């Protein structure tokens, strides 16, 4: 019977170690998910800002015409 108790104690000890390792892993995953969530929010805000900038009429487009015409006026001097 004492051999059974030793086996049970060893088994419980290994289960405790595995549980501790899994809890540590979950904690690290939670930290990473929080960091990714923050990064996603920053990217969404940047995308929203870009969309707003693209939807606003720029000073180049005031004269009318399409956007490609505005970019033609910006050719470097070596052309």
- Per-residue burial over 11-46, b = 16 or more CB atoms within 10 Å of its CB, e = otherwise: eeeeeeeeeeeeeeeeeeeeeeeeeeeeeeeeeeee
pLDDT surpassing 70 at residue 19: yes
Domain that holds residue 32: 2-55
Number of domains in the chain: 1
Write down the pLDDT at residue 70: 58
Task: Identify whether 75 is part of a domain.
Answer: no
Taking only the tens place, the pLDDT of each residue in 35-60 is: 999 999 999 999 999 999 999 886 55
Rounded to whole angstroms, the Cα distance separating 11 from 5 reads 10
Is 69 within a domain? no
23 domain residue, yes or no:
yes
13 is a domain residue: yes
Residue 60 lies in a domain: no
Mean pLDDT of 3-21: 95
Residue in the structure block whose two tokens are 């505005």: 70
41: in domain: yes
For residue 51, which of 43, 59, 63, 39 has the smallest C-alpha distance? 43
User: Which two three-digit tokens encode residue 37?
Assistant: 């969530």
The answer to whether position 34 is within a domain reads yes
Whether residue 73 is contained in a domain is answered as: no
* pTM as predicted: 0.55
């Amino acid at each position: 019977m004492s051999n059974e108790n030793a086996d049970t104690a060893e088994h419980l000890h290994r289960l405790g170690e595995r549980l501790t390792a899994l809890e540590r892993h979950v904690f690290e995953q939670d930290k990473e998910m929080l960091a990714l969530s923050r990064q996603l929010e920053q990217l969404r805000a940047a995308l929203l800002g870009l969309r707003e900038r693209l939807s606003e009429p720029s000073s180049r487009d005031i004269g009318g015409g399409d956007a490609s015409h505005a970019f033609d006026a910006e050719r470097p001097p070596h052309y």
